[in-house]
Amino acid sequence: MTSATAQVRPDDVSAFYRNRLRFRDWRHRRPFWGGLLAMIAGLPILYFPYAHLSIGGLTFAMATTGGAGALIIGILMIVLGISAWLQPMSRLFAGVATILLSLVSIPVSNLGGFGLGLVPGLIGGGLMAAWAPLKQPAPAADPESAAAEEPETAQLPAEPSEVSFAKPSDPETSGEGR
């Protein structure tokens, strides 16, 4: 078997390996990590305004006046992360909106979910805004078709024509006055 007849991906690989390669290809065509961090950032922003933490016999209720605002911000951040995955061309809008929502969550949602939602939201929004799709490589052309498409170059004459270096203002040397 030569390299020309070798299979790119052999058929005798496991289903796990094939699925892992498919997931890797899917992940490389979209802002995966930015979307994941945006979704993770929405969870603590959603959770902490409604949480009741119990430590021993003591219950802490962290309900704030911004409960509805935190709900909206958290859900929007999760939706923006999903939309960056499913529609990669909306990555710039989703990234900027995630950054703005993370900053708005500071006063609205207990300091942005005590920083657990703020920091991943800022990083994820930056990753989404900075992500760009890879350029597709140009297909290689056949040497025969490339030679056929190449235009012919102009040929210079075999003998140079007579060139006059006389001043045009002098009628006797330029031949205009005769």
Tens digits of per-residue pLDDT, 117-139?
A: 999 999 999 999 999 887 777 77
The number of angstroms, rounded, from the C-alpha of 136 to the middle of its chain's C-alpha atoms is 14
Separation of alpha carbons 80 and 98, rounded Å: 7
Q: How far is CA 56 from CA 49, 60, 116, in A?
A: 21, 11, 24
CB 81 within 8 A of CB 42: yes
Question: How far is residue 86's CA from residue 38's CA, in Å, rounded to a whole number?
Answer: 14
Mean pLDDT of 30-44: 94
> Distance between CA 45 and CA 98 in Å, rounded?
12
Give the model confidence (pLDDT) of 54-64 as tens digits.
788 887 766 66
Across the range 91-118, mean pLDDT stands at 90
DSSP letter assigned to residue 9: S
User: What is the reported pLDDT for 36?
Assistant: 96
Mean pLDDT of 153-174: 61
Other Cβ atoms within 10 Å of 51 Cβ, number: 13
- The pLDDT of residue 53 is above 90: no
Range 144-169 average pLDDT: 61
Question: 79-83, 127-131, 174-178: which has the minimum mean pLDDT?
Answer: 174-178
Average pLDDT of the residues in 21-40: 93
The confidence score (pLDDT) of residue 124 equals 96
d(CA 45, CA 73): 7
Phi and psi at 98, nearest 5°, equal: -65, -40
Which pLDDT score, from 0 to 100, does residue 63 have? 63
CA atoms within 13 A on the CB side of 50: 12
Are 110 and 51 a contacting pair, CB within 8 Å?
no
Q: 59 or 27: which carries more pLDDT confidence? A: 27
Give per-residue pLDDT as tens, 12-22. Answer: 778 898 899 99
Q: Is 102 left (phi over 0), alpha (psi -120 to 50) or beta?
A: alpha
Report the alpha-carbon distance of residue 132 to residue 119 in Å, rounded: 22
